[in-house]
Chains A and B, each alone.
Chain A
Amino acid sequence: MIKLTAIEKYYENRVIKTFVLRNINLEVKEGEFISVMGPSGSGKTTLLNIIGMLDAPSNGEYYFFDEPVHKMNEKKLTELHKTYIGFVFQSYHLIDELTVYENLETPLLYQKVNANNRKGRVAETLDRFKIVAKKDLFPNQLSGGQQQLVAIARAVIAEPKLILADEPTGNLHSDQGKEIMELLKELNKQGTTIIQVTHSETNAAYGNRIIRLKDGWIEKNA
């Protein structure tokens, strides 16, 4: 599904080149649940962003379903990532001005799903995540766990093949965190590929493979 070859990412100014990622070679198969671990500043989030096509690598090749992502223009990238990839962030990142219902609806709008279909899918998702009662509330009226639940619901509503989760439980207390992790596990069982960044060994254990990063290098891939 994903194949990274010799990916590098650096920022440069006139004097120094600061490397964030170095010589990353990684292959991800469909249906995997991967946890990316490592200390702060080791490049976990950058890796995730590159895989999510939100950021471009400085060097190297990236194939997504055998298509060369590193050669695509912005339009093609947008097209690809909105159909295949869903995102979950540590700080939820819901649109504050929209209700739960409208937040869920937004990805479908950008995919030009027609109105009836949209209604159906939003209703279905609300039901599946048991947040029907919350559908008219705004994000700031929800607890952190509830917000993350909505964020995950938003990530899966477009039925992506891949979910990228950047410390999804980082802002939650343990009970809520556990709930979210169970949910991701469940999604993975249903066939969605998941890559998560995490600090917690417990959470990493939900996955079937752990990639450890250090100073931009892959330290361990098992």
Chain B
Amino acid sequence: MISNYLKVALRNLMRHKTFSIVNIAGLGIGIAGSLLILVYVVNQLSYDSTQKNRSHIVRASVILGRGGSSMTLAAAMPPLGPAAAAELPEVKAAVRFRVDRSAVISAGNKEFTESAFFFADSNVFNVFTFPLVSGNRANALDDPSSIVISQSIAHKYFGDTDPIGKTLVYDKKYDFTVTGVMKDVPENTMLRPEFIASYSRAVEVQKIENSWGSLGADYTYLYLRRKASVVKLPSELEQLFIRNTNKTMGSLISFTVVPLSEIHFRPGMMGELGPTVNITSMNLFSMIAFLVLIVACLNFINLSTARSMQRSKEVGLRKVVGAGRAGLVWQFFGESLIVTLLSLIIAVVIFELIAPSLYSFFNAEALVRSYLNAYSFVALLAVVVFVAVVAGIYPAVFLSRYSPVDSLRGATTPGSAGATLRKVLVVAQFAIAVFLLISTAVIFKQINFMRNSDLGFKKNGVVVLNLPESSSAVIDKYAVLKQAFNLIPGVQDVSGAGSLPAFSWYQVQDVHLQGEPETKYSMIQTIAVDYDYLRTLHLELLQGRDFSRRFPTDSDNAILLNQSAVQYLELKNPIGAEVYIPSEVPGKSRIMKVIGVVKDFHVTSFQKRMGPLLLYMSPANFKYIALRIDQPQSSRIISALRSAWEKILPGTSFDYSFLSQTYDDLYRSDDKVGSLVSIFASLAVLIGCMGLFGLVSYSVERRTKEIGIRKVLGASISMIVALLSKDFTKWVLMANVIAWPAAYYVTNNWLANFAYRTSVGIWVFVLSGVAALLVALVTVGSVGIKAATANPVEALRYE
């Protein structure tokens, strides 16, 4: 019986080749597309899932400032963890991590610079799941000079010999003894140590001051008791901070806690440990995956039902020779399963071809190796069953209901039944396609807007050099460096900088205006700059003057504000206003005078509003040197810079970057979202058109006789093409009506992520709609013309 069904199914597929190819390929492409996204999303969602205690671990982070100009640091201050563990009842334990991203490690004659050197409190292995393959979990880090390394690190330094008891030298000075080897940490984790040394040693090695004022280096994880509430934790941490510091400035510092499993989805924290993704993007991707699959399924159902209506005769016959309803349902259901499986094969082939490049695009190469895990297998199976059921059930149930008398007599015109359903399906498909087209257009419009807007500075032609970790030696050499750089032909301006647009790490300062009550503090981001900062970046001065060597006091007590800061501080006459800057160190509090106002410029991405900013002169805080250079000569200039650098700061590394690149990186993730949506929008349109092509071919086949008669009666080719296109045009237009409001809503939501954004614009809708219509008409027309130019005699001979 089954072989009989199978034969009929396969012969049917072979006989209607175009139909079958369109149907199977369409579904295959759809499954492949949604699978590609699904695997990526599932992988992202599985971040940190190897941590067994993840539902009880949160990370405490510091928020500096309040309201618009606040920012969140991923890490906290050294005493916070121990204090929280000691004083807060819901905290069972606290683990602090410190990371050295460029640790020079040596063992014997091997020396490497390591980027994942962690210091951690000794209870780390009780709280976190880092399984040890050798060594004792309970006391591995008890000795301050002990260290646990990963398996691959053990192999890298000690080969096949047992690393336990061996010595690793940190920074050429400090000896550590290996007390344990842990399994390599999987790639989908935020916390990926390769070395874990004892935190107590870090105090000595990194000269940690156990102060509530030292911010932003201690990643503090709190292990909570079961059923502990996370809601009150931030305010409790704040109370803790105030209790321990007796500071009223506690009002400028607050805390937030993020559950371990959510850290990966909280972008925007300063000094984050690993890559983060935007949960909105994840939702968007999941939605697109789902939509593409739906389009493919609709297509499949549509084509299947259209064709199965032609098989009413077969159904009738089978009933006459004794088939029951159940048998027929199973037959059609089985056929849909066969086609789905064929599609799946195509999908897997496409997946294999595309996955490597797609995932490297997302910097998720590791996925390529791991996509065939249990998750994706289940997902695959779910997809097949879902599609087979959805696509098979309608024809199965509908056809098996036919009365054999009707179907044999031809009383039911094949195709007339289910026509409404097919219309609805085509409309739905095109609605989704148009929706995705509009979304693509809006995303690219926003990206364009960000690229072409006035940033307030000129990003092209600026080279940025990283100064080595600020030590007095480097600061002393800054002036020498600057002088040397200025002598290089093609270098136009040179300025030291505490920060630059698109570079993270701003300092935040509490300030208050002279004459105002002591209690009224305001938080302002500050950047340490040099005389030529404005000229180097081409910042626009709106009022007053730039820092100038003609005024010797500028280097001590002059500041520039940006427009937002002027508004924020409510200054009517900013020039000459005096700002009081308190300091914890006695005698260091200062009164600064505003000498000029700078036009607002984008220091971060367009997602964030340009906040209040204060520029002051302080070489001690420089982290970078920015140079405006003559762009065409950049390679020559950079090698000149390098040789000057190596003369003045021998033994330090010369790291340079271009400001324009760093800035463009800010919207790289938006770029990716855009490309992805555009790929899948085209996919949806393609599948939609394949469906349309199939349907038109089918309707032409069904109307061969009608077309023949019309031609005999004198209809022209264009009239016949118009006749065939009329319905489809109507449907695509209807699809637009549905897609527009949905797209308007969703794109506006997405744009709301940006503080500076483009408008959606009616033409985006119109163009997307017209594009979909054109593609549909070309599809319909190509089939229609073929039918219309056929010899009518041929068409009528069938009778």
The interface of chain A, by Cβ under 8 A from chain B, is 49, 52, 54-55, 74-75, 78, 81-82, 87, 89, 93-98, 102, 105-107, 109-111, 154, 158
Q: Which among B11, B12, B314, B321 is the interface contact of A110 at CB below 8 angstroms?
A: B321
Q: Which residues of B lie under 8 Å from residue A52 when comparing CB positions?
A: 320
Instruction: Report yes or no: A49 in contact with B405, Cβ–Cβ below 8 A.
Output: yes
Instruction: Report yes or no: A82 in contact with B321, Cβ–Cβ below 8 A.
Output: yes
Would you call B231 an interface residue if the criterion is a C-beta within 8 Å of the partner chain's C-beta atoms? no
Q: Which residues of A lie under 8 Å from residue B324 when comparing CB positions?
A: 75, 78, 110
Instruction: Report yes or no: B405 in contact with A55, Cβ–Cβ below 8 A.
Output: yes
Would you call B54 an interface residue if the criterion is a C-beta within 8 Å of the partner chain's C-beta atoms? no
* Residue of B15, B317, B320, B325 contacting most chain A CB atoms (<10 Å): B320
Q: With the chains together, A110 CA to B11 CA distance in Å?
A: 20
Q: List 21 A-B contacts (CB under 8 A).
A: A52-B320, A54-B320, A54-B404, A55-B405, A78-B323, A78-B324, A87-B320, A93-B320, A95-B317, A95-B318, A97-B8, A98-B4, A98-B8, A106-B318, A106-B321, A109-B1, A109-B4, A110-B321, A110-B322, A111-B322, A154-B321
Instruction: Report yes or no: A93 in contact with B8, Cβ–Cβ below 8 A.
Output: no
Q: With the chains together, A158 CA to B323 CA distance in Å?
A: 13
Beyond the given pairs A93-B316, A98-B11, A111-B322, 6 more chain A to chain B contacts, judged by CB atoms under 8 angstroms and listed by A's residue number, are A49-B405, A54-B320, A54-B404, A54-B405, A93-B320, A98-B8
Would you call B408 an interface residue if the criterion is a C-beta within 8 Å of the partner chain's C-beta atoms? yes
Instruction: Report yes or no: A97 in contact with B322, Cβ–Cβ below 8 A.
Output: no
Instruction: Report yes or no: A93 in contact with B317, Cβ–Cβ below 8 A.
Output: yes
Instruction: Report yes or no: B11 in contact with A97, Cβ–Cβ below 8 A.
Output: yes
B76 to chain A, nearest CB (A): 72
Q: With the chains together, A87 CA to B316 CA distance in Å?
A: 12
Would you call B461 an interface residue if the criterion is a C-beta within 8 Å of the partner chain's C-beta atoms? no
* Residue of A55, A94, A110, A111 contacting most chain B CB atoms (<10 Å): A110
| Binary interface encoding of chain B residues 1-28 relative to chain A, with 1 for a CB under 8 A from any of its CBs, else 0 | 1001001100110010000000000000
CB nearest to B313 among chain A residues: A93
Instruction: Report yes or no: A107 in contact with B12, Cβ–Cβ below 8 A.
Output: no
Instruction: Report yes or no: A106 in contact with B405, Cβ–Cβ below 8 A.
Output: no
Q: With the chains together, A87 CA to B324 CA distance in Å?
A: 16
**Chain B binding surface, main DSSP class:** helix
CB nearest to A82 among chain B residues: B322
Instruction: Report yes or no: B4 in contact with A106, Cβ–Cβ below 8 A.
Output: yes
Would you call B259 an interface residue if the criterion is a C-beta within 8 Å of the partner chain's C-beta atoms? no
Q: Which residues of A lie under 8 Å from residue B323 when comparing CB positions?
A: 78, 110
B7 to chain A, nearest CB (A): 7
Q: Which residues of A lie under 8 Å from residue B15 when comparing CB positions?
A: 97
**What are the nearest 7 A-B pairs in CB distance?**
A82-B322, A110-B322, A97-B11, A107-B321, A97-B8, A54-B405, A109-B1
Q: Which residues of B lie under 8 Å from residue A81 when comparing CB positions?
A: 322
Instruction: Report yes or no: A89 in contact with B408, Cβ–Cβ below 8 A.
Output: yes
CB nearest to A112 among chain B residues: B1
Q: Which residues of B lie under 8 Å from residue A154 when comparing CB positions?
A: 321
Would you call B403 an interface residue if the criterion is a C-beta within 8 Å of the partner chain's C-beta atoms? yes
The interface of chain B, by Cβ under 8 A from chain A, is 1, 4, 7-8, 11-12, 15, 313-314, 316-325, 327, 403-405, 408
Q: Which residues of A lie under 8 Å from residue B12 when comparing CB positions?
A: 97
Q: With the chains together, A158 CA to B321 CA distance in Å?
A: 9
A50 to chain B, nearest CB (A): 10
Instruction: Report yes or no: B403 in contact with A78, Cβ–Cβ below 8 A.
Output: no
B214 to chain A, nearest CB (A): 80
Q: Which residues of B lie under 8 Å from residue A75 when comparing CB positions?
A: 324
B149 to chain A, nearest CB (A): 67
B225 to chain A, nearest CB (A): 64
Q: Which residues of B lie under 8 Å from residue A54 when comparing CB positions?
A: 319-320, 403-405
Q: With the chains together, A145 CA to B154 CA distance in Å?
A: 85
CB nearest to A49 among chain B residues: B405
Instruction: Report yes or no: B403 in contact with A55, Cβ–Cβ below 8 A.
Output: yes
Instruction: Report yes or no: A105 in contact with B405, Cβ–Cβ below 8 A.
Output: no
CB nearest to B324 among chain A residues: A78
B207 to chain A, nearest CB (A): 84
Q: Which among B7, B317, B318, B404 is the interface contact of A102 at CB below 8 angstroms?
A: B7
Instruction: Report yes or no: A78 in contact with B322, Cβ–Cβ below 8 A.
Output: yes
Q: Which residues of A lie under 8 Å from residue B327 when comparing CB positions?
A: 110
B146 to chain A, nearest CB (A): 74
Q: With the chains together, A154 CA to B1 CA distance in Å?
A: 16
Instruction: Report yes or no: B314 in contact with A95, Cβ–Cβ below 8 A.
Output: yes
Q: With the chains together, A66 CA to B707 CA distance in Å?
A: 53
Q: Which residues of A lie under 8 Å from residue B314 when comparing CB positions?
A: 95-97
Q: Which residues of B lie under 8 Å from residue A109 when comparing CB positions?
A: 1, 4
B5 to chain A, nearest CB (A): 9
Q: Which residues of A lie under 8 Å from residue B316 when comparing CB positions?
A: 93
A135 to chain B, nearest CB (A): 14
B13 to chain A, nearest CB (A): 10
Instruction: Report yes or no: B405 in contact with A107, Cβ–Cβ below 8 A.
Output: no
A104 to chain B, nearest CB (A): 10
Q: With the chains together, A139 CA to B46 CA distance in Å?
A: 57
* Residue of B313, B322, B327 contacting most chain A CB atoms (<10 Å): B322
Q: Which among A82, A93, A97, A111 is the interface contact of B408 at CB below 8 angstroms?
A: A93
B407 to chain A, nearest CB (A): 10
Q: With the chains together, A188 CA to B318 CA distance in Å?
A: 25
CB nearest to A110 among chain B residues: B322
Q: Which among A87, A93, A105, A111 is the interface contact of B4 at CB below 8 angstroms?
A: A105
CB nearest to B323 among chain A residues: A110
Q: Which residues of A lie under 8 Å from residue B317 when comparing CB positions?
A: 93-95
CB nearest to B410 among chain A residues: A91
* Residue of A74, A102, A158 contacting most chain B CB atoms (<10 Å): A102
Q: With the chains together, A214 CA to B482 CA distance in Å?
A: 115
Q: Which residues of A lie under 8 Å from residue B404 when comparing CB positions?
A: 54
A187 to chain B, nearest CB (A): 17
Q: Which residues of A lie under 8 Å from residue B321 when comparing CB positions?
A: 82, 87, 106-107, 110, 154, 158
Q: With the chains together, A107 CA to B616 CA distance in Å?
A: 95
CB nearest to A74 among chain B residues: B325
Q: Which residues of B lie under 8 Å from residue A78 when comparing CB positions?
A: 319, 322-324
Q: With the chains together, A102 CA to B319 CA distance in Å?
A: 16
* Residue of A49, A89, A96, A111 contacting most chain B CB atoms (<10 Å): A96
Q: With the chains together, A87 CA to B314 CA distance in Å?
A: 14
Q: Which residues of A lie under 8 Å from residue B320 when comparing CB positions?
A: 52, 54, 87, 93
Q: Which residues of B lie under 8 Å from residue A87 when comparing CB positions?
A: 320-321
B227 to chain A, nearest CB (A): 58
Q: With the chains together, A94 CA to B314 CA distance in Å?
A: 8
Q: Which among A98, A110, A111 is the interface contact of B7 at CB below 8 angstroms?
A: A98
Q: With the chains together, A82 CA to B8 CA distance in Å?
A: 21
CB nearest to A109 among chain B residues: B1
B704 to chain A, nearest CB (A): 17
Q: With the chains together, A55 CA to B317 CA distance in Å?
A: 14
CB nearest to B325 among chain A residues: A74
CB nearest to A96 among chain B residues: B314
